[in-house]
Amino acid sequence: MLKHQLTHPQINAILGQAGHHSAILIADGNYPASSKKGPNAKIVSLNLMPGVVTCNQVLQAVLSAMPIEKISTMMYETDGPYALTEDPPVWQAYRDTIKEAQLELALEPIEKWEFYKAVATD
């Protein structure tokens, strides 16, 4: 019997096979998963409709199931038509979820193109 919130069989299997320093990408429907993924990546699509399931809900489930060493986010644009002047509101939701899980982790933003490179590694 599982003693955590994560009940998705495929995700549980993938997490069970993950070792130390394995990376798990939680992304919304805007992420170009078909072209920006690692060679060993397994895609599990949970997008039922816009806003369901949220990345924060997936984060909550994953944090309940296994220890996490670090959490990286893709840095937002700081110039151009999509520029932000402060952290996206969802980042505070992530921080709250991390705190609720009693973890002392900070979000580690990675510049967009470096983030894509990091995701595409083994």
Q: DSSP letter string over 43-111? A: -----SBTTBS-HHHHHHHHHHHS--S-EEEEPPPSSSTT--SS--HHHHHHHHHHHHTT----EEEE-
Beta strands, E only, the chain: 71-74, 107-110
Residue 107: phi and psi, rounded to 5, are -70, 135
Provide the pLDDT for residue 51.
Answer: 84
Which of 30-34, 61-65, 69-73, 105-109 has the lowest average pLDDT? 30-34
Domain residues of the chain, as ranges? 9-119
Share of the chain above pLDDT 70, in %: 98
pLDDT for 1: 63
* pLDDT for residue 19: 84
| Confidence band for 121, pLDDT divided at 50, 70 and 90 | confident
Under the banding of pLDDT at 50, 70 and 90, the label for residue 36 is very high
